[in-house]
Amino acid sequence: MNIQSDQQLLQQLKAGSSRAYDAIFLKYYKLLCINAYFYLHDEQEAKDLVQAFFLELWEKKIYMRLEGDIKGYLYRSIQNRCLNYLRKQETNTKKQSELVSDLETEYIFEEEDSLEAVYAMLNGAFSELPNQRKEALKLVYFQDKKYQEAADIMGISINSLKTHLKIGLKNLREMLNIF
């Protein structure tokens, strides 16, 4: 097998070679997954993140703007994506905790029944939402999809998705008498 330098592979990739892309993928995929696992401590999430990165690299032709050290770029990109993922997870956890906390503050329940009652109320209100709002909220807040991913799954624009999210959250607050 002819081992090519990263610089040669990058030049071939810029010329449109899918073989060069495959070679870069095969050369770095496992290493980048290990690097991502170091941050995420979840093998499947690490693999998904690296795979999504390579897909975006190819589809958006990000490689066309690359100059120099592709290895460094790949590692930095994965590191940044991992850190962004962790920040998003932390934010979502805080949002969910705040929502539950707000619901518990608003409605006083027995100690052991409070969480179950809050979830029951939330599920009841959630089930009353129109399908698209329900789907938008489910994809973004419960399945941690990015806006673009959720919009693609639903077959709508990002702006439409944002509108569904905004109105859906407003409807939930009104149904639950929060804020």
107-176 — its CATH code? 1.10.10.10
Percent of the chain with pLDDT over 90: 27
Q: What are the residue ranges of helices labelled H in the chain?
A: 6-14, 18-40, 43-59, 70-106, 114-127, 131-137, 147-154, 158-176
Q: Which CATH architecture has domain 6-84?
A: Orthogonal Bundle (1.10)
Buried b (16+ CB within 10 A) or exposed e, 146-158: ebeebbeebebee
Q: What is the mean pLDDT of residues 135-148?
A: 88
Pinpoint the residues of the chain covered by CATH 1.10.10.10: 107-176
**Better-scored residue on pLDDT, 10 or 19:** 19
Q: What are 3's two structure tokens?
A: 């081992």
Band (pLDDT 50/70/90 cuts) for residue 102 is: low
In angstroms, the CA 147 to CA 37 distance is 24
Pinpoint the residues of the chain covered by CATH 1.10.1740: 6-84
In angstroms, the CA 41 to CA 76 distance is 18
pTM of the model: 0.51
pLDDT at 103: 60
